[in-house]
A and B are shown apart, each in its own frame.
Chain A
Amino acid sequence: MAPIDRRKFLKAGAAGVMLLCYGPPAAGFSLLGPKRATSGRDDISGQVFTGDAPEKPWKWSREAKHYEIFRGEQTVCGLCPNVCRLSPGDRGVCRSRVNIGGVMYTLSYGNPCAVHIDPIEKKPLLHFKPLSRAFSIAAAGCNFRCLNCQNWQISQARPEDVRHYELFPEDVVRAAEQSGSASIAYTYSEATTFFEYMIDTATIAHTKNLSNLWISNGFINPGPLADLCRVIDAANVNLKAYDDAIYKKLNGGRLQPVLDTFCTLHRQKIHFEITNLVVPGYTDDEKMVKKMCAWIVEALGLDHPLHFSRFSPQYKLKRLPPTPVATLSRFRQIAMAAGIRYVYVGNVPGHDGANTYCHNCKKLLIERNGYTFGAFNLKDGKCRFCGTPIPGVWV
């Protein structure tokens, strides 16, 4: 065999490096069955939109609450833990808050893009004014980037880019009354992003004996949450995963601020229910669910209803299967074994996990057939069989 000279050696080396860089069968062997938590982007959190703000406020703008001025013209939003620092002309992560001339404005005030009347069970709220209707509104915007968002059309859009109604707070309340709804739900997109609109509407609604429902991802700072707690009557907050890495990867959010929100709501004695969407391959880990339930029991107690919701392929997360029903049933058992008293299975018609059972005598209290009741065994908020008070608002 001819001795190899330096030129040949370099050529062979370059060829080898090319092969390795090009793609690897070599790397391929270690890539078989990649772990989801370590594959793809680790954090899909939104970014500030530089220079994307309108030149001047529009009809549906108001000066925002909860912001500070920084270095003259910069504004720092204090509404949610994203804490967007905006120079004049910038738009926040949520797309609905902008810095115009050194003043922070919300672009979502009186311009809901979705207005519907829903059964309250659809929120889902199963322990609050059952069988009543919720006048539901949303304006465009969200501080998360969930890959499986059901309402991406409005949550991932700028307020100026969607068709909208004109309903200022007093109009919303009037329309809700006319529709015979018992409550107003701030929902669909992320209600926190139209905070000022929600607060003002909720304040008027209270004067008309309408309840206010906050349907949210819970990603809000303590100050604004304290304001909100004064006007909301019930909430359903998503606990998307009990894992900060998954929050970053699938939702573009973080876990701890959401946990803090639950604690605040609990301390403030607001009725709230927790929804956990079980996403196959990400949040269908039994160990994680056990940890989550242990935290709920320890930090929030046993009485807040927990919903395990079935995932179906949505938006950008369309290459995952729906959650197996058996997985949801199993998680329900785990949560109940952990001590949580009211655990439900959502998005599965006909599942036994939609019913309410007395945590004391275990008898059937409410048999739910979708948005209707088969049996209702509560009297004055107590179990008809053993008299145990059942947490919730049962008017």
Chain B
Amino acid sequence: MRTKNERAIIRIILATGVASVATQLLTIREFLALFAGNEFVIAVIFFNWLIIGGAGTLLAYRAADSFFRPSPIRLGWLSLLAAAMQPVNLLTIRLLRNVVFIPGSETGFYQTFVYTLLTTAPYSLLIGFLLPFSLFVIRRESPAYPGTTIYIMDNIGDVAGGALFSFVLLFIATPMQSIAFSGLILMVAAIPLLMPNRGVSVYLLTAAILAATTILTVPVFIEIRTLEVTGGNLVWYREARTGRIQVTHQADQYTLYLDGSPIASSYNLRQAEAAAHYPLCQRAHSERVLIISAVTGIMNEIKKHQPREIDYVELSPELAETMLRFNLIQKNDRMSVIHDDARAFLSRTKKRYDTVIMCLPEPDTYQLNRFYTQSFFSLVRKRLTENGVFSFMLMGFDNYPTEADRQKLSSVHNTAAACFPNITMIPGEDIFFLCGEKPLTTDIPTRLEQKGIKTAFIKDYFAGDVTHDRLAYLENMIDPDAPINKDIRPRLMRLMFARWFALFDTSPAFFYAAGGLILLGYLLFASRGEFILFSTGFANMATEILTIFAFQIFIGYIYYQIGLIVTVFLAGLLPGAWTGGHVRYHSRRTLMLLDGAIIMLTGFFAVAVITAETRLPAVFFLAYGFIFSFVCGFQFPVILHLFGDKNRQTSGAFTADLVGAAFGALLTSILLIPYAGLAGTAMAIIGLKTISLILIGVIHGTH
């Protein structure tokens, strides 16, 4: 039977889980809206969050043992503080960005790293601190209270918080509203521990509640004014699944921003003409045209070729709606807007197109990279008519490409060349790749003249900008040895990372060295049990990333289903930990079996994905995520039982789990997948878990 105190503390743990996960997701979205949203940045945000959280759990043990004795009142105050810090955390990130950095500018890796670390540290440290501290408070009354229960309650809160945000709040509330809502839940949960009958002054409590409520609610009313607006007046703002959409109006121009970067603007003749006419002029007539995402003004240009049917596929309905609303994409009777993942759409459709025009951003995330792989190009080829043309663009260069640029372009070129017999590149601000079964021409103006199509930019500028010398320069710089980009071995990603570092004239070497030293230091001082939990935390996070990575490739970027994968990875831990806490035999053999299961599951996943590819149903990934995290969750209580469930060990276990997850997120995203591919990443997880297995095997003197 739980005491009144225990019940109150369990409510706090649940509420902390809900609030912290909602805040974490909002924090990540905020960073993506303020900084370059490439995979490196995403991994670093996760890493910082988890590693600081891990430091918080360690601090909890040290503090509780010396200068900050656990008490329900202290837990209550800290929880109230955590609730109030949520909007402060988000506002700090948002407002300081343009104070610390030059407005309108992008920031390099180290600047982003330090900024994300410092701005999230206070909140994530406190959240990391709260979990073990809650346990220590309970243990003052019930010294044998199991750490596993806290672990389970925290996970229930996390699952609830993740689901609440991903499936409800994101669609009905702004970031500040979501923060206020989740913060109020935590505040309400904290109040019972601060009631006057515990010795807290009623005046102090009232003042604190009023202050926290004010801090939580005031930002809701000033939210619009806190948004970053880099040009003109903000006339449209939506938080969409794919990111923050804003539209500004200045003079005669509307500019649409996605996550702070301008992606469409009223006057865009150069790009619109090039994107439409370069491919469409190649053939006498295009009956059916497919556009994957779009650039401003492209519809007006496509219309000049009078196709019978235009399918416009846009992943984000909100983005397509905004483009149409501000006339950045012109409505057309022959155009059908399809809200779908383009890759999933192409896999399903039976239609064949004369021209496919892809206007996606640079492939600097795994989500985008899968549109520049051999499998995707082959898929497009299957959907083209015999005479069809596929075009896409990559960021160009004015006069000289860096080596990183050269390798990136070469890799994409070689990948396309592996699928199409004819490839032509046209240089400029954007480099256009034209691919087809039949030969393609670069004499675009002549073709357009023959077709009687009038243009402004191409007619007047093409000859001066796209000279024979520049065409030859681009052709000659292609490195035939550059790697082919494959779905399960996305080598283009590391070239994109290299390009990003080249842009800021920095190298990740120092970061790798520092991270490696921290990891080494941690592992040297970690106990055997902590190492096993570290490896499980690593494996769980790495597998989650790997599962999402594979799901996107073979099923598509389907927001709800990816949200479900994240949820099942959290949800599986619960029954796992519960079962682990209730089995009779907590032996070394059990632990070895669990590690063996992780190894086998990882191997099975790699083999299944590589062999079955698109034949795997979505439910496979969901079931896999659940089973995998079930096993990981199972390990937690077993390890606590084997290695001790005193405050020190419990705190160390929480830390090990978080540190493992932090390095799992980081290494999988930025090193393992780009360099070793899916199979190599699976091998790395198996390798790490094999070491863990060996360590368990040499444990002496246990049950």
| A contact residues vs B (CB 8 Å cutoff) | 1-2, 18-19, 22-25, 27-29, 31-34, 36, 39-41, 44, 113-114, 116-119, 121-122, 138, 147, 150-154, 156-157, 162-163, 188, 249-250, 280-282, 312-313, 315-322, 324-327, 330, 348-350, 369-372
Residues of A within 8 A of B253 (CB): 321-322, 324-326
Structural contact, B102 and A280, CB atoms closer than 8 A:
no
B98 contacts A by Cβ under 8 Å: yes
Chain B residues contacting A29 (CB-CB under 8 Å) are 222
9 A-B residue pairs with Cβ-Cβ distance under 8 Å, sorted by A, are A2-B201, A23-B92, A23-B119, A39-B103, A153-B405, A281-B230, A321-B255, A370-B459, A370-B460
> In the complex the two chains form, is A322's CB within 8 Å of B400's CB?
no
- Let me know if B261 and A318 touch, CB within 8 A: yes
Once the chains bind, are B470 and A319 in contact (CB under 8 Å)? no
What are the residues of chain A within 8 A of B222 when measuring CB–CB?
Answer: 29, 32
Partner of A116, one of B122, B231, B405, B467: B467
Residues of chain A contacted by B265 (CB below 8 angstroms): 321-322
B17: Cβ under 8 A from any A Cβ: no
* Residues of B in contact, count (CB < 8 Å): 72
Is A280 touching B230 in the complex (CB atoms < 8 A)?
yes
Question: Within the complex, what minimum Cβ distance (angstroms) separates B363 from chain A?
Answer: 17
B99 near A117 (CB under 8 angstroms)? no
A322–B99 contact, CB under 8 A? no
Q: Which of A154, A282, A313, A324 contacts B400 (CB 8 A)?
A: A154
Are B218 and A25 in contact, CB atoms less than 8 angstroms apart?
yes
| Given known A-B contacts A40-B105, A369-B460, A371-B464, A22 and B122 have beta carbons under 8 A apart | yes
B260: chain A residues at CB < 8 Å are: 319
CA distance A18 to B88 in the complex (A): 12
The residues of B that contact A32 with a CB separation of less than 8 Å are 95, 222, 225-226
Chain B residue numbers with a CB within 8 Å of A326 are 251-253
Q: How far is the CA of A178 from the CA of B122 in the complex (A)?
A: 66
A1, A138, A315, A321: residue with the most chain B Cβ atoms closer than 10 Å: A321
Neighbouring B residues of A371 by C-beta, 8 Å: 460-461, 463-464
| Nearest CB of B to A265, in Å | 25
Interface: B611 (CB within 8 A): no
B105 touches A153 (CB 8 A): no
Docked pose: A242 CA to B667 CA in angstroms:
47
Cβ A349 vs Cβ B104 within 8 A: no
Please name all residues of chain B whose beta carbon is closer than 8 Å to the beta carbon of A324 when the two chains form the complex: 232, 250-253, 266-267
- CA separation between A156 and B108, bound complex, in Å? 15
Q: Which residues of B contact A157 (CB under 8 A)?
A: 402
Distance A32 CA – B460 CA, assembled complex (angstroms): 44
Out of B85, B105, B231, which one reaches A321, CB within 8 Å?
A: B231
Which residues from A are CB-within-8-Å of B98? 34, 39-40
CB neighbours (8 Å) of A22 from chain B are: 85, 88, 92, 122
Q: Are A280 and B252 in contact (CB under 8 A)?
A: no
Q: Which of B89, B402, B456 contacts A349 (CB 8 A)?
A: B456
Please provide the chain B residues from 392 to 426 with a CB less than 8 Å away from any CB of chain A in the complex.
Answer: 397-403, 405
Asked if residues B503 and A316 are in contact (CB atoms below 8 Å), the reply is: yes
On whether the beta carbons of A119 and B460 are closer than 8 Å, the reply is no
B87 and A188 contact, CB distance less than 8 A: no
Question: Within 8 Å CB of A117, what residues of B?
Answer: 467, 469
A-chain residues with CB within 8 Å of residue B473 when the two chains form the complex: 116
A40 & B99 in contact (Cβ 8 Å cutoff): yes
- Once bound together, how far apart are the Cα atoms of A318 and B108, in whole Å? 13
Q: A44-B102, A122-B464 are known; give 17 further A-B pairs, CB within 8 A.
A: A22-B122, A23-B88, A28-B91, A36-B103, A36-B104, A40-B98, A40-B105, A154-B400, A280-B232, A281-B231, A315-B503, A318-B261, A318-B262, A326-B251, A349-B461, A370-B457, A371-B461
- Which of B87, B265, B266, B398 has the largest count of A CB atoms less than 10 A from its CB? B398
From residue B416, how far is it (CB to closest CB) to chain A in Å? 23
Q: Does B100 contact A (CB under 8 A)?
A: yes
A370 to B459, CA, bound (A): 8
CA distance A162 to B105 in the complex (A): 25
**Residue ID in chain A nearest B35 by CB atoms:** A319
Contact B398 A151 (CB under 8 A): yes
Query: Residue of A at shortest CB range from B202?
Result: A1
B688 at the interface (CB under 8 A from A): no
Q: Is B203's CB within 8 Å of the partner chain A?
A: yes
Given contacts A116-B470, A327-B251, contact A31 B459 (CB under 8 A): no
Chain A contacts for B102, CB-based, 8 A: 36, 39-41, 44, 147, 249-250
Whether A114 contacts B230 in the complex (CB less than 8 A), given A315-B503, A349-B457, comes out as: no
Q: How far does the alpha carbon of A324 sit from the alpha carbon of B254 in the complex, in Å?
A: 9
- Tell me the complex Cα distance, A315–B85, Å: 35
Which residues of chain A are within 8 angstroms of B106 by Cβ–Cβ distance? 316-319
Residues of B within 8 A of A249 (CB): 102
**Considering the chains assembled together, what is the distance between the CA atoms of A153 and B503 in angstroms?**
8
Query: Are A319 and B226 touching (Cβ within 8 A)?
Result: no
B269 at the interface (CB under 8 A from A): yes
Closest 8 pairs (CB-CB, A-B): A370-B460, A23-B92, A40-B102, A324-B251, A371-B464, A326-B251, A324-B253, A321-B255
